[in-house]
Structure 1
Amino acid sequence: MILGKVTELSAQSGIAPQLLAIIKQALALRPETLSAGRHEIDGDDIFMNVMTFETAEPESKRYEQHREYLDIQVLLNGQERVDFGPLGAAISPDIYHEDDDYLLCDAVSPRQTLHLQPGMFAIFLPGEPHKPGCISETAQAISKVVIKVSYRCLGSESFTS
């Protein structure tokens, strides 16, 4: 998991240059002005999902993780809590849904928590379980964009087995 601010992308160290370019390209499309739903950047390899929804109690949500895509979650409005765990932290995950590249679980160990504010982003690599959309302080409507990047775009082998 990588955490940062979109206003400091150019100064962010440790992020592959091609990934920085993808994030900048997606943000240049001004996702805050787009309708909710999927917006393609490079077909199925790079796209973004723009969404607005109400945050919920963490206990009512499940962790998700992916095998094929990185999730770059950028909070546009509101405050959001995201619980997450490192690679291999998922406890008793469900079956993998290959068509939609996800699997779910109810718990991770160890569990970590972050609180996003507008303009912050979190990058979850394949295999890293994460539970976005949780109440940070109070339930509220939030807007965010999730940039989905196939790991193949970064010239990488699969992150998980």
Structure 2
Amino acid sequence: MISGRLSDIAAANGIDPRLAAIIRQALARRPETLSPGRHDIDGENIFMNVMTFDTQPSHSKCYEQHRHYLDIQILLSGQERIDFGPSGAASEPGLYHEEEDYQLCQTIMPCQTMHMLPGMFAIFLPGEPHKPGCISEAAQAIHKVVIKVHRRCL
């Protein structure tokens, strides 16, 4: 997992230049103005999901992990907590859904937590379990974009 502020992207502070370019390309489309849903950038290679939803208690959600896509999660408004762990941390993962590239699990070990504020990003590599959209301080509506990057692009 890699995290930081969008200003880190502009300053190229340790972010892979290919990832930084993808993030800049997605942000140039002004995701904060787009309707919720999928927006293609490069077909199945790179696309973004714009979403608005209410945060939920962590215990009511599952961790997700992917095999083929990186998730670049960018919070546009509100606050959220993301629980996550390193690759291989998933305990008893469920069935893998090939077409949508996800697998769910209830628990991970070890578990870490980050609190996201607007203008922050978190990059989850394939195999890294993460549980976004959790209540940080109080339940609230958040607006975010998740850029999906197929690992063949890197």
TM-score scaled by length of structure 2: 0.98
Does the CA-based 8 Å contact 2:9-2:15 persist in structure 1?
no
Partner AA of 2:19 in structure 1:
L
Question: Helix, strand or coil: the match of 1:100?
Answer: coil
Runs (5+) with no aligned partner, structure 1? 155-161
Q: How many residues align?
A: 154
Please give the per-residue CA displacement for 1:13-65, whole angstroms capped at 9, x wherever unaligned: 33221111000000010000000000000001000000000000000000000
Separation (CA, whole Å) in 2 of partners of 1:27 and 1:88: 31
Q: Distance in 2 between matches of 1:77 and 1:148?
A: 19
Structure 1: which 4+ aligned runs deviate by more than 3 Å? none
Is 1:82–2:82 an aligned residue pair? Answer: yes
Alignment partner, residue 66 of structure 2: 66
Alpha-carbon separation, structure 2, partners of 1:72 and 1:85: 16
Bigger mean CA offset, 77-86 vs 1-10:
1-10
Quick check: 2:38–2:48 contact (8 Å CA) kept in 1? yes
Q: Which 5+ residue runs of structure 2 have no aligned equivalent?
A: none
Shift of 1:95: 1.4
Aligned to 2:129: 129
Asked whether the equivalents of residues 4 and 12 of structure 1 are also in contact (C-alpha less than 8 Å), the reply is no
Q: Which residue does the alignment assign to 2:108?
A: 108
User: Following the alignment from structure 2 to structure 1, what is the Cα–Cα distance between the partners of residues 29 and 68?
Assistant: 24
CA distance in 2, matches of 1:8, 1:29: 19
Q: State whether structure 2 residue 117 is matched by structure 1 residue 120.
A: no
- Residue 27 in 1 paired to residue 23 in 2? no
CA RMSD of superposed structures (Å): 0.7
Query: Residue 67 of structure 1: SS of its match in structure 2?
Result: coil
2: distance between equivalents of 1:7 and 1:87? 27
Aligned equivalents of 2:11 and 2:109: distance in 1?
32
**Letter aligned with residue 112 of structure 1:** Q
Matched, 1:45 2:84: no
Identity among equivalent pairs (%): 69
